[in-house]
Structure 1
């Protein structure tokens, strides 16, 4: 798969950029976003972007600290068929994301160097490993990793910009454009590694969103995700009753991200860093509907984003002014290219 038809030239050689993942959507899409942006940063049309999905060895997943000390033959065995492809293709850059892929990135890095290929590795998110295991490490600014090869971002990396959103908005049908103003998109997440969504939580969220629509007079564009409990959508549509709304049918074309170019504000459930990050590109009011009080890394992410003026908690009114937009990719790409040139 090649997510972009454009090509680029890395370090003066005709070569590939690889995105290597285990297929986990949130991680894979961040890595593709960076790869696509690197491709788009140049106009030399020399290099392709390859999207490669593998099943990482359990040894690489669970014991990444041992990888730098493993012999070449064992690294090749643990990597499987991608090791052969690495030696054949000799990609200029390999991008991975998430702790589950950290060991694979380290193994690919060491095997490439052992073969004299000179492939550079970029890993996204803090793997809780020494940064020098990677050529470039990109971590959320609220995570502790720091070093000369470490770049930080406030939000998760994504491919959205205002131009892409506007183009997609122009393709929306009457179901969405016919909603009366003010319009508010509601991006619904769901169960995650931190907590499940109980029936009571779903009912409470439905009531909160219906109360918001009643008090603000807003029509709601409801966009569930694959993680959204079916009972939440049922509770929500029942609670909204005669109020104006539209809900995405899984059989129809996804109105996202075009819906972001149609609405006056966006509500996002608190569980998804990626959905929040994408929405902040718009500069619209981004309102966070909490399932429960968020703690740890995601709590720190919310705090940083609120302090910077990108998001706010969901209240019973619609903000009249836009929020500070957040579009980090150009600066990230510039810093990555500068380090690749060293």
Structure 2
């Protein structure tokens, strides 16, 4: 199959349903759909029964899935999908079964580091900072995602009245939270907010801020208290999510260093990406490697309190991964 083929594909996306995970596989599926118009995408969400969730992948069987799970394998007589794209630990045994049961009919792609023999999949699309190696591995900067200029523009329409009138430069501020590698205690959040406020004041700009589900409540409160007096919008999590609209309208993107997904998505816009420091819980983390990769591509720099602009070629890693899928399918 040639890259950019117009032959439609049936593409099945499989995840545990968590948005951040599902969007990686769905983003790659949508990139394939753009290269092969008229392709159809189906989304399946799975969950293992609690008693079997921690079993090694090699020991799991479909009957162990929770009844709330979607059916992932075709019924007798139904065709297998052309492409299976899965992400996350919960999907690993199912991906292995799909490759075997389809008899090679289905091209099986696993995103992220599967922590499994990479040769058991047709392709593993893994973040470069995870250092996954193998003949079947494509390393990319960050993870696949759904951000495209067209999707951002479409997502911005619903919020145009609120955002287009904001003074420039507009800062999209994307705040993460506590993880195994980073923390955002109240005092540090307050310090970040003061630095952001000073940058807004110096530039005469405005703020578009969104928090993660992982952001501690104390950190939210500290940042909101210090930034709410400035022009803009601090989204409180109610109503439609303006995340795409924030990226579309931003002149600068500030993102905390704990999120590989948000950093990669921001870098796909071609806008200056400023990395906000957090409290590190362990040194030499993979996020350090990601940020070094983004700096090498001139997409991101550490936030120094100023809003210096720069330009770079927007990252198009999801599209690159989709082309690799089509190329390998054609050579198989």
The more displaced of 174-183 and 198-207 is: 198-207
| One of 133, 157, 178 as aligned partner of 1:191 | 178
Compare relative contact order (CA 8 Å, sep 6+) and give the higher one, 1 or 2. 2
Residue 156 of structure 1 aligns to a residue whose secondary structure is: coil
Q: CA deviation at 1:314?
A: 0.7
Which residue of the partner structure matches residue 46 of structure 2? 54
Which of 274, 297, 301 is the equivalent residue of 2:261? 274
The residue number in structure 2 matching 1:201 is 188
The 8 Å contact of residues 179 and 246 in structure 1, kept in 2 or not, is answered as: no
Query: 1 CA distance for matches of 2:164 and 2:46?
Result: 40
Q: Distance in 2 between matches of 1:86 and 1:191?
A: 42
What is the rounded CA distance, in whole Å, between the counterparts of 2:162 and 2:327 in structure 1?
46
Partner Cα separation in structure 2 for residue 184 and residue 192 of structure 1 = 24
Matched, 1:326 2:312: no
Tell me if structure 1 keeps the 8 A contact 2:73–2:98: no
TM-score with structure 2 setting the length? 0.85
Partner Cα separation in structure 2 for residue 199 and residue 86 of structure 1: 53
Q: Which residue is equivalent to 1:252?
A: 239
Shift of 1:252: 3.2
Q: What is aligned with 1:136?
A: 123
Shift of 1:59: 5.2
Structure 1's 197 and 160: CA in aligned 2 closer, same or farther, altered over 3 A? same
- What is the CA-CA distance between 1:89 and the residue it aligns to? 4.3
Superposed counterparts of 1:107-186, under 5 Å: 107-113=97-103, 118-186=105-173
Give SS of 2:159's match.
coil
- RMSD of aligned residue pairs (Cα, Å): 2.6
Q: Does 1:9 align with 2:8?
A: yes
In structure 2, the residue matched to 1:70 is: none
Equivalent-residue separation in structure 2 for 1:76 and 1:179 (angstroms): 52
- After the TM superposition, which of the residue ranges 325-334 and 50-59 deviates more from structure 2? 50-59
Match of 2:215 in 1: 228
**Which whole-Å CA distance do the structure 1 matches of 2:29 and 2:242 have between them?**
24
Matches within 5 A, 1:25-44: 25-43=19-37
Q: Which runs of 5+ in 1 are unaligned?
A: 1-6, 11-15, 68-73
Structure 2 gaps, min length 5: 1-5
| Count of residue correspondences | 319
- Does the aligned pair in 1 maintain the 2:143–2:318 contact within 8 Å? no
